[in-house]
């Protein structure tokens, strides 16, 4: 079944500069595997060397975090949308001293 995978801006350079890719898959794991097979440069940005999703990569299915569903074994349906959302860290090193 076709699902749409939304590629975040920082990773588009590894996915043929596309903002979304249609993949045939029945689970989130299959969709991500198909995506990284088609665009192998994405693999190192999404997965660790042992094949686990990196800690800073969040995956949503139709706006629901897959960690609260069945993780990568979450089943897919026609026209579902998977969003890859890398966590963004940073901020100021300045401390606020409030009184």
pLDDT at site 88: 72
pLDDT at site 93: 53
Give the SS3 label for residue 12. Answer: helix
Tell whether the model's pLDDT for residue 21 goes beyond 60. yes
pLDDT at site 27: 98
> What is the average per-residue pLDDT within 44-48?
94
User: Is the distance from CB of 38 to CB of 82 less than 8 angstroms?
Assistant: no
Q: Domain coordinates of the chain in residue numbers?
A: 2-86
Q: Are strands 2-6 and 81-86 parallel, antiparallel or unpaired?
A: parallel
| Domain at 2-86: CATH architecture | Roll (3.10)
């Amino acid at each position: 079944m076709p699902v749409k995978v939304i590629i975040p801006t920082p990773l588009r350079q590894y996915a043929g500069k596309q903002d979304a890719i249609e993949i045939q898959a029945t689970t989130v794991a299959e969709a991500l595997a198909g995506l990284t097979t088609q665009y192998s440069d994405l693999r190192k940005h999404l997965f660790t060397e042992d094949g686990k999703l990196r800690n800073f990569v969040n995956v949503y299915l139709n706006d629901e975090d897959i960690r609260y569903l069945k993780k990568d074994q979450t089943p897919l349906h026609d026209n579902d949308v998977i969003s890859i959302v890398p966590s963004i860290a940073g901020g100021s090193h300045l401390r606020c001293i409030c009184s």
